[in-house]
Structure 1
Amino acid sequence: MATVKSPLNDEARKITAEALQGALIDLIDLSLFAKQAHWNLNGRNFKIVHEHLDEVVELARTYTDEVAERAIALGINPDGRVRTVADRTRIPQLEPGYVADDKVVAAVTDVLAQMIERFRERVRATDEPDPVTQDLLIQATRELEKQHWMFQAQV
């Protein structure tokens, strides 16, 4: 089977691969986290939070695909398998069952803040080795920060 030859040298490819794989895991689990909250949400602000969670899911799924396709373009195989995500996620999980809207808002706010910190680290790490990947990570970070602001405003 043919492989994609990377335009990056080995060291740049290694740094970029690490950044993209970490972002991929964060984004896949964010979509799962937000859907879990979406399905089990209850409370006075149900409708608005329920719909807002779908925006987070859409954002996560869009950038999941962008990140994975960027990896492939660089000859890096993305790993979005369930076991990989479960083993490597850094996103704290919600409690099972119904979750009150205020707890969901606080949890999503915290998760987004943690992810933004990791994405900003990845932005810094890819500055020299791959500015194109850095640009993608900056775009994703901008959208995560926007969602963080919107959820934080509800706390």
Structure 2
Amino acid sequence: MSTVRSSLTDENRDTTATALQGALVDLIDLSLVGKQAHWNVYGKNFRSLHLQLDEIVVSARNAADLVAERAIAIGVSADGRAATVAETSSVPKIHDGTISDNEVVTLMIDAYTAVITNMRERISATESADPVTQDLLIGITAELEKQSWMFQAELG
């Protein structure tokens, strides 16, 4: 049991905790997929993608930390264990081995689409349950949408 007391009702805390936990695993997995692609990308756009992927990994990790800290601030634990991420993430899986630059762009667009779709649902779910968490999720989603746009722009 947490020693942190929240001003949220139990119902609102539970709704918010569910939204934060889902966001946490998606953001952790997005960072892992980004790093896997970073290590294994090849092709004519290798260098720019290699650098871009490092940027998105840092961004996803920072957002995951904010989400986890928000969960703790409302009195619930954050679960970022590998098994939890593997079982509950909505991020499409990345195959092992090398991956072409075009495949990376498509993979990242699909990953962002999945995460953003779920983040928007979480924004709606927390609207009345916890506007503070909603605000946090809105800011993170804005950044995710910007990064998604940058990958989409690479397709021409």
Query: For the superposition of Structure 1 and Structure 2, which TM-score range results when normalised by the shorter chain?
Result: over 0.9
Residue 2 of structure 1, CA deviation:
6.3
Supply the distance in 1 between the matched residues of 2:98 and 2:2 (Cα, whole angstroms). Answer: 48
* Structure 1 residues 78 and 42: alpha-carbon distance in aligned structure 2, compared to 1, 3 A threshold: same
Aligned 1:135-150 pairs, distance under 5 A: 135-150=135-150
The aligned length equals 155
Residue 128 of structure 1, CA deviation:
0.3
Residue 150 of structure 1, CA deviation:
0.2
Kindly indicate whether residue 81 of structure 2 is the aligned counterpart of residue 87 of structure 1: no
Task: Give CA deviations for 1:74-119 in whole Å, capped at 9, x if unaligned.
Answer: 0010101111111111211111100000000011011101111100
SS of equivalent to 2:77: coil
On the 8 A contact 2:33/2:93 being kept in 1, the answer is yes
SS of equivalent to 2:102: helix
Return 76-85 or 16-25, whichever deviates more: 76-85
Supply the distance in 2 between the matched residues of 1:134 and 1:125 (Cα, whole angstroms). Answer: 8
Supply the distance in 2 between the matched residues of 1:97 and 1:111 (Cα, whole angstroms). Answer: 18
Residue of structure 2 equivalent to 1:24: 24
Supply the distance in 2 between the matched residues of 1:113 and 1:9 (Cα, whole angstroms). Answer: 32
RMSD, aligned α-carbons: 1.0
Residue 141 of structure 1, CA deviation:
0.1
Gapped regions of structure 2 (runs ≥ 5): none
Supply the distance in 2 between the matched residues of 1:144 and 1:22 (Cα, whole angstroms). Answer: 15
TM-score, normalisation: structure 1: 0.97
TM-score, normalisation: structure 2: 0.97
Residue of structure 2 equivalent to 1:5: 5
Supply the distance in 2 between the matched residues of 1:79 and 1:2 (Cα, whole angstroms). Answer: 14
Matched to 1:61, the amino acid is: R
Supply the distance in 2 between the matched residues of 1:56 and 1:2 (Cα, whole angstroms). Answer: 32
Kindly indicate whether residue 55 of structure 2 is the aligned counterpart of residue 55 of structure 1: yes
State the identity %: 55
Moved over 4 A (4+): none
Residue of structure 1 equivalent to 2:42: 42
Residue 58 of structure 1, CA deviation:
0.8
Kindly indicate whether residue 68 of structure 2 is the aligned counterpart of residue 71 of structure 1: no
Residue 61 of structure 1, CA deviation:
0.5
Gapped regions of structure 1 (runs ≥ 5): none
Aligned 1:109-124 pairs, distance under 5 A: 109-124=109-124
Task: Give CA deviations for 1:35-92 in whole Å, capped at 9, x if unaligned.
Answer: 0000000000000011000111011010110000000000010101111111111211
